[in-house]
């Protein structure tokens, strides 16, 4: 199943709709969707290395726009949708603690957590819940998400051929390692609260 999904994403990279699909995933991941855009960005970039910077720009812009939706969920809908998402991730009892950290470390929370495999939607929703300044939230989100996707693009641009060879031979191991990093990021997020 993983192999078919990987091949589907590689085939998608050759289609004109590929950037739209990447944008949709990056947008949704910043507000409610559990799959990070890296799952699409990596196969698309190794399939079309000449477009790696374009894909990074799309992922960045869509992620920041999705982050604004996440912020709105936190600011306007925390009691319903936002609380449901925190319950889904088992963090409902820690939302207040996380909100309090914004009073002291707001800029650093957004900058550091935006670079990590910690689900960014938790940062965006909590930023809205904490009523963090929207201008600073958007600016810091653009910096941190841009850094994340452009660093990844640089690595993919430089080592894309080698990465594709590894993915073609060891896809299941690569997916398992990626999943482990995401899970460890989530565990680290819970531990930090």
Summarised one tens digit per residue, pLDDT across range 26-44 is 999 898 877 778 878 888 8
The pLDDT-based confidence of 55 (bands split at 50, 70, 90) is: very high
Q: Average pLDDT, whole number, for the chain?
A: 81
Secondary structure of 70-87 in HEC code, one letter for each residue: HHHHHHHHHHHHHHHHHH
Q: How many Cα atoms occupy the beta-carbon half-sphere of 127 within 13 Å?
A: 33
The pLDDT-based confidence of 139 (bands split at 50, 70, 90) is: very high
Q: Is the pTM of this model over 0.75?
A: yes
Taking the alpha carbons at both ends of the chain, their separation in whole angstroms is: 35
Q: Which two tokens stand for residue 165?
A: 């060879």
64-85 mean pLDDT: 86
**pLDDT at 88 exceeding the cut of 90:** no
């Amino acid at each position: 199943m993983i192999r078919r999904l990987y091949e589907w994403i590689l085939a998608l990279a050759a289609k004109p709709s590929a950037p739209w699909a990447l944008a949709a995933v990056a947008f949704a991941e910043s507000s409610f969707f559990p799959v990070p855009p890296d799952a699409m960005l990596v196969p698309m970039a190794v399939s079309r290395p000449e477009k790696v910077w374009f894909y990074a720009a799309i992922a960045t812009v869509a992620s920041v726009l999705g982050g604004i939706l996440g912020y709105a969920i936190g600011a306007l809908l925390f009691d319903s949708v936002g609380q449901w998402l925190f319950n889904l991730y088992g963090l409902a009892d820690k939302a207040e603690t996380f909100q309090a950290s914004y009073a002291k470390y707001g800029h650093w929370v957004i900058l550091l957590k935006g670079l990590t495999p910690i689900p960014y939607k938790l940062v965006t929703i909590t930023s809205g819940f904490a009523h963090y300044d929207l201008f600073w939230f958007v600016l810091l989100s653009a910096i941190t998400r841009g850094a994340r996707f452009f660093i990844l693009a640089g690595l993919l641009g430089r080592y894309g051929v080698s990465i594709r060879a590894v993915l073609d031979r060891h896809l299941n191991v690569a997916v398992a390692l990626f999943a482990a990093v995401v899970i460890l990021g989530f565990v680290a997020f819970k531990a930090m609260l």
